Amino acid sequence: MHKTIILSTCLFNFNDNNACNFLHFCIIITRKNYAAILKEKIILKMVIYNER
């Protein structure tokens, strides 16, 4: 969960695309479920956005 939150936060920092791509790759390899990652990413992105 921690890595996914980092990725979602990274989506707001477009200047750090390399870090985003690396984290995205690591999460996909870890979770082995791309569809779940996309869904989780969207939900967490919305949560982080609402908290700010």
Q: What amino acid occupies position 44?
A: L
The pLDDT of residue 31: 52
- Please tell me the distance from the alpha carbon of residue 51 to that of residue 7, in angstroms, as a whole number: 16
pTM of this prediction?
Answer: 0.23
Structural domain count of the chain: 1
Q: Which domain holds residue 22?
A: 2-51
Long-range contacts of 37-43 (CB under 8 A, 24+ apart): 37/4, 40/4, 41/4, 41/7, 41/8, 41/11
The pLDDT of residue 39: 61
The pLDDT of residue 13: 45
The pLDDT of residue 12: 47
For the chain (52 residues), the mean pLDDT of every run of 10, in chain order, is 51 50 53 57 57 55
